[in-house]
Structure 1
Amino acid sequence: MATVNEQMQSASIGHAVDLQHLSNAEVRKIIRLLNSADAELRTKLLEAIDRLGPNSYTARRLNTVLASVYELNKSVYASIGEVMVESVVDIGQYEIGYQGALFTKVVPDQVLVQVSLNTVNLAQVREIALARPFQGRLLKEWMGDLEASRAAKIRDGIRIGMVEGQTTDQIVRGIMGTKAQGYADGIVERGRRDVETMVRTAISHTAQGAREAYYKANDDIVAEVRWLSTLDNKTSAPCRLRDRMIYTNDSQHAPVGHKVPWLSGPGKLYFNCRSTSMPIIASYEALRLSKGLPEGTRASMDGQVPKSTNYGDWIKGQSAERQDEVLGPTRGKLLRGGGLELDAFYNDRGKFLTLEQLRERDAKAFSKAGL
């Protein structure tokens, strides 16, 4: 039978995968909101550039004719900001609820009778989500910066087009992108990528902050904290270095048995950080429980740090249903029956290969898996 800490580790890895799926869904929702104004933005750009005219172009006049464009841009980012506030607070509350349910499920009832679990209130969750900066800025500050950055890119795109003598249509295509390229070749595409990065980082920042708050609220039973990195071709060097390292469960997060600093922590170390953490539950001896525990319960509460398990090992040990949920049914079959390891699904830049690319790279694996 798995010990409490072994169960905590497996659950924490699986939960990190689920949070990535949630993050993907939030990104799609926010990008749809950003894109919803594209048609109106295109119309306003055409009108503004026609009003500007090649013979009356000045920086002051450009800002004047772009007033409606700036207003639309501001409105879109204000809407995104409102949705993001709601989303990160909800995610923080969800994370607190998840940790409470996990502790209740994993820690034996005989222990919870003597050691009560504390929770984190809504005010604390809102403070974590909205009043703590990530990558140097608060959420509302990031929204303001992203709005201003896209407005500046639009303005500069028009300036360059006017100087180069481009037509109105050429300037607008340069800003919005072309249908043939899926609009990914326009100046505003950078704004979409920036928004995606902000959304993913805000979510991981909030979820990790909520985890840390829950661990600290229960520091009588959470002895230490272990860093867990998602090890695949996309994992950064700082997270590979810290994977499975132990830190104290306090505001200092001092290294335990090593010298590698915690810095901002997992999920917050850099933009798009996917690392997470798990609690190391104290042993039954350390808890000094007044009532004796059954032998099986004492064995499960040994307080030992579980054997290292990376993401690739974890996914191979999951059910077929869970593998298909995480990887998709075709990749799940390739993992189980095609002889492929997790790393085979990524290219050398850490990007997920398409099924066509996978088949081209290793057709034998498809045949072996019956695909």
Structure 2
Amino acid sequence: MPTVNERLLDAAINHAVDLQQLSNGEARKIIALLNRADADLRQRLVAAVERMGTDRFSVTHMNSVLESVRELNKAIYAEVGEEVVKVVDELAAYELGYQQTLFTATLPNQVLIAVPLARANLGQVRAAAFSRPFQGRLLKEWLSDLEATRAGRIRDAIRAGIVNGQTTDEIIRGIMGIRAEGYADGLLQRSRLDIDAMVRTAISHTAETARDAFYSANADIIAALTWTSTIDGRTTPECRIRDGKRYEVETHKPVGHNIPWLSGPGRIHWRCRSTSVTALKGWEELGLSPDEIDPGTRASMDGQIPADKTYSQWLSEQSAARQDQILGPARGKLMREGGLKMDRFYNDKGIYLDLGQLRERDAAAFAKAGL
């Protein structure tokens, strides 16, 4: 029978996977908001470049003819901002409720009666999600800066194109990209990547903010926090060195090592997917006596820290349906029947390989899996 701490570790990895899938969906949805305005943006860019003219080129004239482009860009990012704020607001409430439900369902009833769980303040969590910076800035500052950055890139590309004697089509192509390349070769792709990174980091920042609040409210039952970076087959050096390290609950001081917490899991770098896992105190540390709890409860509340479990190990223990949900049916079958391990789904730079690339690498695994 797994201990309470082992069950919490398993749930934390499972939940981190779900949050990553949430990030994937929200990033796609918000990038789609940008893409939806591409046709209008292209028309305004063409009109602006043609009005520019090389004989009247000046900063004042450029600012004048680009006004409609700037207005559209501002409107797009206002819509993006509203959606991101909505996601953050809803996630703060969900994550706080999830932690409360998880601990209520995991802790034995005898322990909950003796040491009731406290509730964190949702209003404070929501306020903290917006008022605490991630990667050096507040959410509203990132939204404003990303809008200004894209407007500046467009302006500079037009300026450079005119100075270099490019045609209108060449300038627009450089900004928008071409269809044959999925528009990924255009200047605007950088803005999509910026939005993707910001959305994913805002989600992990918010989830960790809610967890911090719940942990702080229940610090009396938590022995320490464990930094868990085994959410993916590849981790950054910052997270790899912290994986499995323990920290105090409220101060985040290192326990048994000297590697600092810094901004914490989910915030330490862009797109961070690490998370924090609690190690609950044992029944004796909680001040419970043998008369208050039965032997089974004492065994489940032994206070021992579970052995490190990698994401690959965790995934191998899941049902085929859960594996397919996370990896996709083809990759799930390749793992189960083709003999592929998680690290084979990535290249040496940690980039997820598509099925065509995987087939080139491991044709034998595809044959073995009957794909």
Same fold (TM over 0.5): yes
Q: Secondary structure at the match of 1:224?
A: strand
- Could you tell me how far 1:113 is from its partner in structure 2? 1.1
Partner of 1:184: 184
The one-letter amino acid paired with 2:270 is F
Q: How far off its partner does 1:175 sit?
A: 0.8
Match in the other structure for 2:147: 147
- Counterpart residue type for residue 311 of structure 2: Y
Deviation (angstroms), 1:367: 2.2
Q: Does the CA-based 8 Å contact 2:125-2:210 persist in structure 1?
A: yes
SS where residue 278 of structure 1 aligns? Answer: strand
- C-alpha distance in structure 2 between counterparts of 1:253 and 1:170, whole Å: 53
Aligned to 1:203: 203
Q: CA deviation at 1:121?
A: 2.5
With 113-122 and 5-14 compared, the bigger mean Cα shift is at 113-122
Q: Secondary structure at the match of 2:257?
A: coil
Structure 1: where are the runs of 5+ without partners? none
CA distance in 1, matches of 2:143, 2:242: 31
Taking the aligned partners of 2:255 and 2:77, their CA distance within structure 1 comes to 43
- The question of 1:171 aligning with 2:165 is answered no
Identity of aligned residues (%): 57
Report the 3-state secondary structure (helix = DSSP H, G, I; strand = E; otherwise coil) of the residue aligned with 1:285: coil
Q: Match of 1:87?
A: 87
Q: What does 1:69-88 align with in structure 2 at a 5 Å threshold?
A: 69-88=69-88
What is the CA distance between 1:232 and its match in structure 2?
4.4
> Aligned AA for 1:362?
D
Structure 1 position 221 matched with structure 2 position 228: no
CA displacement at 1:261 relative to structure 2: 0.9
Instruction: Report 1:4-15 matches (<5 A).
Output: 4-15=4-15
- The residue type equivalent to 1:139 in the other structure is L
Please give the secondary structure, in 1, of the residue aligned with 2:219: coil
Deviation track 1:60-115 (CA, whole Å, cap 9, x = no partner) reads: 11011101111111111111111111111111111111111110111111111111
Which residue number corresponds to residue 134 of structure 1?
Answer: 134
Amino acid at match of 2:82: E
Once the two structures are TM-superposed, the CA of residue 370 in structure 1 deviates from its matched residue by 2.8
Deviations for 1:93-148, whole angstroms, at most 9, x for unmatched residues?
11111111110111111111111112223311211221111111000000111011
Residue aligned with 2:225, SS: strand
Superposition deviation, residue 22 in structure 1? 0.1
Counterpart residue number, 1:18: 18
1:331 to 2:326 alignment: no
Contact 1:225 1:247 in 2 (8 A): yes
Match of 2:365 in 1: 365
Aligned to 2:340: 340
* Aligned counterpart, 1:113: 113
Matched residue type, 1:88: V
Mapped pair 1:279 → 2:284? no
Aligned to 1:253: 252
* TM-score, structure 1 normalization: 0.97
- Over 4 Å off, 4+ runs: none
State yes or no: 1:56 paired with 2:49: no
What is the CA distance between 1:234 and its match in structure 2?
Answer: 3.0
C-alpha deviation, 1:233, in angstroms:
4.7
Offset at residue 153 of structure 1 (A): 0.3
- Return the alpha-carbon distance in structure 2 between the equivalents of residues 121 and 318 of structure 1: 34
Report the counterpart of residue 289 of structure 1 in structure 2. 288
1:24-64: CA deviation from partner (whole Å, max 9, x where unpaired):
00001100111111111111111111111121111111011
Query: Aligned equivalents of 1:315 and 1:170: distance in 2?
Result: 48
| 1:185-230 deviation digits (Å, cap 9, x = unpaired) | 1111111110111001111111011111111111111221010003
Which amino acid counterpart does residue 62 of structure 1 have in structure 2? M
Is the CA contact (8 Å cut-off) linking 2:233 and 2:342 kept in structure 1? no
Q: Is the 8 A contact 1:231 1:240 kept in 2?
A: no
> d(CA) in 1 for partners of 2:23 and 2:344?
23
Answer yes or no: is the 8 Å Cα contact 1:227–1:278 preserved in 2.
yes
CA root-mean-square deviation:
1.1
Deviations 1:162-188 (A, max 9, x none): 011111121111111111111111111
Contact 2:227/2:242, CA 8 A, preserved across alignment? yes
CA contact under 8 A between 1:5 and 1:304: conserved in structure 2?
yes
TM-score norm. by structure 2 comes to 0.97
Structure 2: gaps of 5 or more residues: none
| 2:310 matched residue in structure 1 | 310
Compute the displacement of 1:256 (Å): 0.9
Counterpart for residue 156 of structure 2? 156
